[in-house]
Amino acid sequence: MVLIANGIYILSIYISIFTNTSSTTYLEGMGFKGWFESGNSLSTILVLNLFIIFTLFNKLEDKKIKIIAFTEIILSGIFLIFLLGTRTGLFGFVLVVGAYIFSRIFILFRNNFINKEKKLEKNKKILLIICSILIVSIVGLVLYKGSSLLSRRKYLNSLNNAIIDSQTGEPSHVTGDILKFKEQIEKNELDETYMSKPMQNSITELYNFANKHNIAGTDRRTQQLIYNAYLVKNQSNIFYLLFGNGFLNNYGELTLEMEIPAFLFNFGLIGFILYFIPFLSLFIYYIYIGIKNIKKIDAEYIFLCFGILLSFILSFLVGQIFFNSSAMIIITCMNVLLLNKCINLKNKKIDIINHKNTVENNLEEELLVK
């Protein structure tokens, strides 16, 4: 099912590009995102899908299906690195392939030097193929300077000098919308029914902080995080700390895109515990079981743990994970696969104990008979 779903994504994207019906990732006309609404959302879905596809790849016995899976990996990599234009897609693909290689190398090392196993030829061939994909990806990343992502980065750098702060006469260290809000606050043009006093104070403090620390005017996520931190301080309300200050406290470019901080600021400590802590607890549990059974876990176990970890990192830095139904389905699949592996590890341990007890009982019975 994952192969079919991912195939539909990839096929529709390339059809839209070849038929010139794809929408652009950014308003400036850079990047391709097919017929989908959000470039970041699309990149997180495709990146997380790769963890499932790589996990299933070694289990596929039908050569035709295996070729399809390999083709999807290659086409996903080309799109994420060169065509989409987001950092999430580019670095996400490289991290997925790198995590796969690391997990394989770790198991090869463990089996060869700890478990003293010599059945390495098949794994070596697979590792060679995946290493080749990673090398090609990195070389392509370095050589393809006209990619959508690099064009976008150059454009944003040029914007840093485009917005001038009228107060300092220098390039602004906050976005254009925030600068307008700040100027309206100074002129007392904002009514408290539209924007409360704590919000106004938070924007002013954000402006001062950004100027002091030379934050890039196009770095919206950093500005969003600073604003929300100041807002919690200025509201000084235990109710908001426990239950959050709500999504409506965000205005325009101040809307908090990073999900994990959003849990804490917008949904409060209780919302953070209810929504995020269960996923974090499961991840800690996987790490504990993995360390405890370090001689028994396979490469897939390590690789899927990397997948869960990357989903947390993407949620914190980019968003479009926990508030995205498609991404959540993939995360659920990874958790189910890992939980099944944990159950299998426990069952094997129980079987070993039962076998040991049976052997000991049989020995005792033989001794009693003698």
Instruction: Give DSSP secondary structure letters for 112-146.
Output: HHTS-----HHHHHHHHHHHHHHHHHHHHHHH-TT
Report the C-alpha gap between 366 and 370 in whole angstroms. Answer: 6
Same domain, 17 and 132: yes
Query: Tell me: the pLDDT tens digits for 295-333?
Result: 889 999 999 999 999 999 999 988 888 988 889 999 999
**Who contacts 67 (Cβ-Cβ below 8 Å, separation ≥6)?**
none
Q: What is the chain's Cα-based Rg?
A: 26
pLDDT of residue 139: 60
Residue 39 placed within a domain:
yes
Same domain, 62 and 37: yes
Tens place of pLDDT per residue across the chain (370 aa): 788 888 899 999 999 999 999 988 877 677 888 888 788 889 999 999 999 999 888 787 788 888 888 899 989 988 988 888 788 888 898 899 889 988 988 888 888 776 555 555 555 566 666 666 666 666 655 555 445 555 666 666 666 666 777 777 777 888 888 888 888 888 888 877 778 888 889 999 999 999 888 888 778 888 989 999 999 899 888 998 898 887 666 667 788 888 899 888 889 999 999 999 999 999 999 999 999 998 889 999 999 999 999 999 999 988 888 988 889 999 999 999 999 999 998 887 665 555 455 544 554 445 444 4
Same domain, 347 and 286: yes
Same domain, 58 and 112: yes
Question: Are the beta carbons of 62 and 188 closer than 8 angstroms?
Answer: no
The count of other CB atoms within 10 Å of the CB of residue 6 is: 23
The position carrying tokens 């959003």 is: 262
Question: Are the beta carbons of 312 and 283 closer than 8 angstroms?
Answer: yes
Same domain, 19 and 146: yes
**Who contacts 138 (Cβ-Cβ below 8 Å, separation ≥6)?**
94
pLDDT of residue 285: 96
Angle separating helix axes 121-143 and 63-78, nearest 10 degrees:
20
Same domain, 26 and 141: yes
Same domain, 10 and 60: yes
Same domain, 39 and 127: yes
Question: Are the beta carbons of 334 and 53 closer than 8 angstroms?
Answer: no
Residue 369 placed within a domain:
no
The position carrying tokens 């005792």 is: 364
Residue 36 placed within a domain:
yes
pLDDT of residue 116: 58
Residue 148 placed within a domain:
yes
The position carrying tokens 């485009």 is: 162
Number of structural domains found in the chain: 2
Report the C-alpha gap between 365 and 222 in whole angstroms. Answer: 71
Question: Are the beta carbons of 271 and 263 closer than 8 angstroms?
Answer: yes
Residue 313 placed within a domain:
yes
Same domain, 179 and 269: yes
pLDDT of residue 145: 45
pLDDT of residue 148: 56
Enter the pTM of the model. 0.83
Same domain, 225 and 237: yes
Residue 367 placed within a domain:
no
For the chain, the average pLDDT equals: 81
Same domain, 111 and 165: no
Same domain, 39 and 142: yes
Residue 212 placed within a domain:
yes
Last residue of a domain, one of 275, 299, 319: 275
- Domain coverage including residue 353: 2-154+276-358
Residue 365 placed within a domain:
no
